[in-house]
Structure 1
Amino acid sequence: MVGLGDNNSTSCNSNNRAKDKKKKKKKRGGSKRKMTAEQTLAFKSVTEWVYLDRQNSSSTSTAAPALSSWVVDDFGVQKSLGMGIEKVVFELHSHSKHSDGFLSPSKLVERAHGNGVKVLALTDHDTMSGIPEAMETARRYGIKIIPGVEISTIFSPRNSEMEEPVHILAYYSSGGPRRYEELEKLLANIRDGRYLRAKDMVLKLNKLKLPLKWEHVTRIAGKGVAPGRLHVARAMVEAGHVENLKQAFTRYLYDGGPAYSTGSEPLAEDAIQIICETGGLAVLAHPWALKNPIPIIERLKDAGLHGMEVYRSDGRLAAYSDLADSYDLLKLGGSDYHGRGGHGECELGSVNLPVLVLHDFLKVARPIWCSAIKDILENYAEEPSDSNLARIARFGRMGSFKGSCPLSCGKDLIDHCLSSWLSTEERQKGDFEAIRMKLSSKSPKSQHTESLVFFSMATQRAHILSFLLSCATFLNLISCHSNLPENHVALFIFGDSLFDPGNNNYINTTTDFQANFWPYGETFFKYPTGRFSDGRLIPDFIAHFAGLPIIPTYLQPGNHKFTDGANFASGGAGALVESHQGFVIDLETQIKYFKKVEKSLRQELGDAEAKKLVSKAVYLISVGGNDYLTRNSSTASDEEFASMVLGNLTLALKEIYKKGGRKFGFPNMMPLGCLPYMKAQAGGSCDDQVTAIAKLHNKLLPKTLQNLETQLEGFKYAYYDFFESVSQRLNNPSKYGFKDATTACCGSGMYGGVYSCGGKRGITEFHLCENPGQYFFFDSYHPSDKAYEQFAELMWSGTTDVVWPYNLKSLFEAKASNLNIPFPSPY
């Protein structure tokens, strides 16, 4: 159901969040208290389920958060007391482009991760086609996906011809529905009806003198997506018939409206019956949108309904909570996120579900899911055929792989395949030992496999290892040392605040070296991440260009998966240990962290695969600026000091090289003397003395890299002329789309040069511009998201006049033979 101003939408106003933030804190912050015994047990049970895969790993450090670190507020919502300990957030209602959402499943998962969501249910309208992509992306971020679907149905009163649309949410186990074909037949019929329904809406609009083309609607919906009301509404906006989506719904497309039409929706009771038969949990979506909810809830409860939405972003709705109690239904809720943006859009993870609610949800769901997983595996054990294997792999995307494996490994690995969703007790109760024994004793009907593709029912060559690996993939846990895709290139990042995504959030430092408060992060992430920017940094864009997820902070709690890389950068860090010593993570310590990651990769992937990953990876390093800005106490000459900085950088590079690193990227030093902070200190003009040592650094760095290229076989690099790119924008801002390249968007004093952005660095008053995209500098030291994007594009694919001898795109795409890089042998 689309929440667009009618009574099914939640009251969210993203534009007022910043203003209301302090009020909300006052409202809830004063009544935190220790959890009751019941809440403590519930919280323990919930977190154990969320972190099952970590508890079943060998590392004890990855277990669920300590109970002593948590309290609850007046509403029973868990709150963290400790630094760096994250709240366990469930998001149980979201949509992607596979129905009427605006984001791809991958982007949806990335946004959920950015909002701190740990468990995400993707519930597209009448399709589960987005689940595999969501699961694959979620695996990188350590998010648990609940495969879901929002089913469009009709409630038809027995003694009345008045029908009412009802939406039912279905939540499934990691393996998806058992007897999937039955559910898919139902959903396909609804989707076919959606095409007819949307065509009828277009016809009605044309009769209302609002001309609209069918091709316009299908283009908006996208290839293979059954059009819904939201797609019709978007076409109306683009055609100029209405001013916005809300107007389209309130005037024409609301239930029973002049352009409304029904499709081929099944009866709500029939849909619930199929959900139950296929191993799902049935929940009534947004009951506040119903005209007559009581008889509907009563009938659906008799049909097998498990729960109903009661919680919204604006809190618990008491009337519907009472209804749920009356009919003994689970009380749940979610944001119903579509990714529209703008006024009224509730963010992913914005619904606070109390810990007892989450516990009740899992208490009902887990036995149902356990039974479904057991049935799916038993079917395969009874008949390990190609078609049954394809069913097993339906919600796991596997790349091509070849070869064979002894069947005996099945018995040893089946527990690991299930461990991220089922506890030891559940596996024992479900008699999974018998299934393991059956699997290990049977011979597959085919011995080799070339590919395993989602929804492919064509004949495939398959064997038991294929099954186990695909099982591990959709359960967010690969049990054996598996080969990464041949073209996979990781990204490791070192340096200072130009690259720091928030490592300083997790160390004992001061706010001078942190950016984890508003308005940092306001334009892209919509919340402060710890990045010294209104949005993203250069490495974030590089990761996107390379087809990687945003590389998380190394110190982020729960971040123990490094196959995509890691970011060690620390705001304020330098190549010299003395620079801001005790407040930041210096370069030497960052290298120590990298060595720990390299060791972790060897343990996870095996020596050969880890060596391959490390040697194919690209290493981005931005360091030195803080050394030059804080060298006041040094008696060394400029040349001596720059040599010290570059000497430490060289040592770091050699340590990475020893571990197998071969491909590096470096921005040189920007004109430091022209930062708003430095200009304010210098009375309004650039500090030429500081800029001079930046120029000296830029003169010596290429020579250092050329020497390393000579000394270290296979050492290759991209040297980016950051100084020139910044200078061009400072001298001619309008050419690059900036209104102001002199004053910081956020700060105070001359040029915004007083480092007061956010009001948490000793000075509470600060100015914030309306549009950071018009400003080159976001705060007194750091460029804006828009500027970083331009720099990243140049580093990625710039020509040799700005980045040389290679650009980053060349390094990411290069094979050993292309660059003559002697990658370590995997044998």
Structure 2
Amino acid sequence: MPSSPKAMAAKTFLLPLILALFSFSLFFPLTISIDFNYPAIFNFGDSNSDTGELAAGLGVFLELPNGQTYFKTPSGRFCDGRLIIDFVTMASMACILHILTLILFICSPLSESIHFNFPVVFNFGDSNSDTGELIASGIESINPPYGQSYFHKPSGRYCDGRLIIDFLMDAMDKPFLNAYLDSVGLPSFRRGCNFAAAGSTILPATPTSVSPFSFGRQVAQFLRFKARVLELLSQTKKLKKYLPTEDNFGKALYMFDIGQNDLAGAFYSKSLDQILGSIPTILVEFETGIQKLYDQGARYFWVHNTGPLGCLPQNIARFGTDPSKLDELGCVSSHNQAAKLFNLQLHALCKKLQGQYMDANVTYIDIFSLKSNLIANYSLYG
């Protein structure tokens, strides 16, 4: 039976490659005999062997002619066909495993009351709601005591137990959210996806940022996630149990808990007045991201304000050595002043958005007051 065009193309490419390798081995006997049928392949590299990593991690959309000669559509590869790694995998008869690395604000009295049983949750933020994103990126690793009080081992969260996002999912009787970059163990994104990454800021990341996944980057990841989900669902129904449906994107809860790192990090190089003056710029960036999500069909937004930054132990240790700079709670006054102004302007923005998006539901959650109450009355809570 004649070979298919695809098989012929593979053979046409592989024959000179194999001959070249054979000739090379004549001069270097160390390479003469290898078993070229491995059970798994792990690849490291750049665009010469990237099968989708940069596109997935940074939320980049590739356009034609990328992918036009083989996949007929951009496939995450920076070429118009296949890469050497693709041919190697074919030659070894190994299966190509495409691991799919596939988010609404906690809304407040700004809008009508909403039912709290959403089919899907998409979350954006920093360490306050990161369930494994930064760890999955390979930028950091975490060890005990992280995770010790609930998971009994590090779980990708920068705490010893669960986060607000975890309790929220529990309250809706839904599984914890998988991080967008968590690609091991067939993660399910059927009930949502978490784009939050520890150390992230609203403003674009800089070379000195802890996390490259700023709010704009997280939104870009969501846009790619949605596009990829819809593409896969149009090709096969086998993935329905792992992915949200198309109409879920409009019914989902979009959660946001981000901004504290923009303020806290700035204190290392800027004055209080400079930081206070930068808040409008930070919130313009935030509004831009919200607009993009709204344009994609997001309608239910749950927005956390930032907590009392001056009460974080690391800030007290670094900026609170002078008792005159502490407030009545023993927290750094300047940091809490910045947090209060940020929250005031964030609340005003949420009101603006609610008036602008009449078909949306924007809820603002006062995390600052909740945490301040816990700190002031800690003895009442055990």
1:58-77 equivalence runs, <5 A = 65-66=40-41
Q: Secondary structure of the equivalent of 1:647?
A: helix
Separation (CA, whole Å) in 2 of partners of 1:671 and 1:67 = 44
Deviation at 1:578, TM superposition (A): 3.9
- Shift of the 526–508 alpha-carbon distance from structure 1 to 2, 3 Å rule, reads closer
Separation (CA, whole Å) in 2 of partners of 1:497 and 1:582 = 11
2:136 counterpart (498, 501, 506): 506
Q: Secondary structure of the equivalent of 1:704?
A: helix
Letter of the 1:539 partner, please give it.
I
Separation (CA, whole Å) in 2 of partners of 1:731 and 1:541 = 23
Identify the residue that residue 643 of structure 1 maps to in structure 2: 280
Q: Secondary structure of the equivalent of 1:550?
A: coil
- Shift of the 537–605 alpha-carbon distance from structure 1 to 2, 3 Å rule, reads same
User: Residue 614 of structure 1 contacts residue 660 of structure 1 at CA under 8 Å; is this kept in 2?
Assistant: yes
2:337 counterpart (692, 711, 728): 692
Identify the residue that residue 254 of structure 2 maps to in structure 1: 619
Deviation at 1:491, TM superposition (A): 0.5
Q: Rg bigger for which structure?
A: 1
Separation (CA, whole Å) in 2 of partners of 1:569 and 1:669 = 15
Gaps spanning 5+ residues in structure 2: where?
1-33, 45-52, 54-116, 236-243, 324-329
Deviation at 1:68, TM superposition (A): 7.0
User: Residue 562 of structure 1 contacts residue 601 of structure 1 at CA under 8 Å; is this kept in 2?
Assistant: no
User: Residue 563 of structure 1 contacts residue 613 of structure 1 at CA under 8 Å; is this kept in 2?
Assistant: no
Q: Secondary structure of the equivalent of 2:135?
A: helix
Identify the residue that residue 223 of structure 2 maps to in structure 1: 595
1:547 counterpart (145, 169, 173): 173
Deviation at 1:709, TM superposition (A): 1.1
Separation (CA, whole Å) in 1 of partners of 2:196 and 2:269 = 25
Percentage of matched positions with identical amino acids: 28
- Shift of the 634–715 alpha-carbon distance from structure 1 to 2, 3 Å rule, reads farther
Deviation at 1:639, TM superposition (A): 4.1
User: Residue 353 of structure 2 contacts residue 362 of structure 2 at CA under 8 Å; is this kept in 1?
Assistant: no
Letter of the 1:664 partner, please give it.
F
User: Residue 517 of structure 1 contacts residue 530 of structure 1 at CA under 8 Å; is this kept in 2?
Assistant: no
User: Residue 508 of structure 1 contacts residue 583 of structure 1 at CA under 8 Å; is this kept in 2?
Assistant: no
Separation (CA, whole Å) in 1 of partners of 2:42 and 2:277 = 52
Letter of the 2:258 partner, please give it.
V
Identify the residue that residue 438 of structure 1 maps to in structure 2: none
Identify the residue that residue 307 of structure 2 maps to in structure 1: 670
Q: Secondary structure of the equivalent of 1:664?
A: strand
Q: Secondary structure of the equivalent of 1:620?
A: strand
Say whether 1:574 aligns with 2:201: yes
Deviation at 1:715, TM superposition (A): 2.0
Identify the residue that residue 16 of structure 1 maps to in structure 2: none
Letter of the 1:573 partner, please give it.
S
Say whether 1:713 aligns with 2:358: yes
Identify the residue that residue 293 of structure 2 maps to in structure 1: 656
1:52-63 equivalence runs, <5 A = none
Q: TM-score, normalised by structure 2?
A: 0.62
Separation (CA, whole Å) in 1 of partners of 2:366 and 2:135 = 30
Identify the residue that residue 734 of structure 1 maps to in structure 2: 379
1:276-287 equivalence runs, <5 A = none
Say whether 1:529 aligns with 2:159: no
Separation (CA, whole Å) in 1 of partners of 2:360 and 2:269 = 35
1:604 counterpart (213, 227, 232): 232
Q: Secondary structure of the equivalent of 1:591?
A: helix
- Shift of the 671–561 alpha-carbon distance from structure 1 to 2, 3 Å rule, reads same
- Shift of the 628–488 alpha-carbon distance from structure 1 to 2, 3 Å rule, reads closer
Gaps spanning 5+ residues in structure 1: where?
1-36, 45-64, 70-83, 85-486, 738-827
- Shift of the 535–662 alpha-carbon distance from structure 1 to 2, 3 Å rule, reads same
Separation (CA, whole Å) in 1 of partners of 2:210 and 2:342 = 25
Deviation at 1:541, TM superposition (A): 1.3
- Shift of the 638–505 alpha-carbon distance from structure 1 to 2, 3 Å rule, reads closer
Identify the residue that residue 188 of structure 1 maps to in structure 2: none
Identify the residue that residue 23 of structure 1 maps to in structure 2: none
Letter of the 1:527 partner, please give it.
K
- Shift of the 583–508 alpha-carbon distance from structure 1 to 2, 3 Å rule, reads farther
Letter of the 1:695 partner, please give it.
K
Q: Secondary structure of the equivalent of 2:344?
A: helix
Deviation at 1:604, TM superposition (A): 3.5
Identify the residue that residue 191 of structure 2 maps to in structure 1: 564
Identify the residue that residue 271 of structure 1 maps to in structure 2: none
Separation (CA, whole Å) in 1 of partners of 2:315 and 2:42 = 47
Separation (CA, whole Å) in 1 of partners of 2:337 and 2:194 = 30
Letter of the 1:732 partner, please give it.
N
Q: TM-score, normalised by structure 1?
A: 0.30
Deviation at 1:529, TM superposition (A): 1.6
Deviation at 1:696, TM superposition (A): 0.4
Separation (CA, whole Å) in 2 of partners of 1:720 and 1:506 = 29
1:70-149 equivalence runs, <5 A = none
Separation (CA, whole Å) in 2 of partners of 1:67 and 1:602 = 28
For residues 440-491 of structure 1, what are the alpha-carbon distances to aligned partners after superposition, in whole Å with 9 as ceiling and x for unaligned? xxxxxxxxxxxxxxxxxxxxxxxxxxxxxxxxxxxxxxxxxxxxxxx86101
User: Residue 178 of structure 2 contacts residue 187 of structure 2 at CA under 8 Å; is this kept in 1?
Assistant: no
- Shift of the 546–577 alpha-carbon distance from structure 1 to 2, 3 Å rule, reads same
Q: Which one scores higher on RCO, CA 8 angstroms, separation ≥ 6?
A: 2
Identify the residue that residue 264 of structure 2 maps to in structure 1: 629
- Shift of the 642–538 alpha-carbon distance from structure 1 to 2, 3 Å rule, reads same
Letter of the 1:623 partner, please give it.
I
Deviation at 1:545, TM superposition (A): 1.2
Separation (CA, whole Å) in 2 of partners of 1:690 and 1:518 = 29
1:219-618 equivalence runs, <5 A = 489-507=119-137, 509-510=139-140, 514=141, 516-558=142-184, 561-578=188-205, 580-581=208-209, 583-606=211-234, 610-618=245-253
Letter of the 2:374 partner, please give it.
R
Letter of the 2:121 partner, please give it.
L
- Shift of the 717–68 alpha-carbon distance from structure 1 to 2, 3 Å rule, reads closer
User: Residue 500 of structure 1 contacts residue 532 of structure 1 at CA under 8 Å; is this kept in 2?
Assistant: yes
- Shift of the 606–543 alpha-carbon distance from structure 1 to 2, 3 Å rule, reads farther
User: Residue 146 of structure 2 contacts residue 155 of structure 2 at CA under 8 Å; is this kept in 1?
Assistant: yes
Separation (CA, whole Å) in 1 of partners of 2:119 and 2:161 = 24
Separation (CA, whole Å) in 1 of partners of 2:331 and 2:346 = 23
**Equivalent residue pairs, number:** 259
Deviation at 1:637, TM superposition (A): 3.5
Identify the residue that residue 754 of structure 1 maps to in structure 2: none
User: Residue 498 of structure 1 contacts residue 571 of structure 1 at CA under 8 Å; is this kept in 2?
Assistant: yes
Letter of the 1:525 partner, please give it.
F
Identify the residue that residue 704 of structure 1 maps to in structure 2: 349
User: Residue 611 of structure 1 contacts residue 660 of structure 1 at CA under 8 Å; is this kept in 2?
Assistant: no
Q: Secondary structure of the equivalent of 1:529?
A: coil
Deviation at 1:716, TM superposition (A): 1.0
For residues 683-721 of structure 1, what are the alpha-carbon distances to aligned partners after superposition, in whole Å with 9 as ceiling and x for unaligned? 264210110010001111111011111112322122111
Deviation at 1:555, TM superposition (A): 0.4
Separation (CA, whole Å) in 2 of partners of 1:68 and 1:623 = 34
Deviation at 1:517, TM superposition (A): 1.2
User: Residue 350 of structure 2 contacts residue 363 of structure 2 at CA under 8 Å; is this kept in 1?
Assistant: no
Separation (CA, whole Å) in 2 of partners of 1:654 and 1:545 = 28
Q: Secondary structure of the equivalent of 1:703?
A: helix
User: Residue 563 of structure 1 contacts residue 601 of structure 1 at CA under 8 Å; is this kept in 2?
Assistant: no
Structure 1 runs, 4 residues or longer, greater than 6 Å off:
none
For residues 348-375 of structure 1, what are the alpha-carbon distances to aligned partners after superposition, in whole Å with 9 as ceiling and x for unaligned? xxxxxxxxxxxxxxxxxxxxxxxxxxxx
Deviation at 1:561, TM superposition (A): 4.4
User: Residue 496 of structure 1 contacts residue 573 of structure 1 at CA under 8 Å; is this kept in 2?
Assistant: yes
Deviation at 1:605, TM superposition (A): 3.6
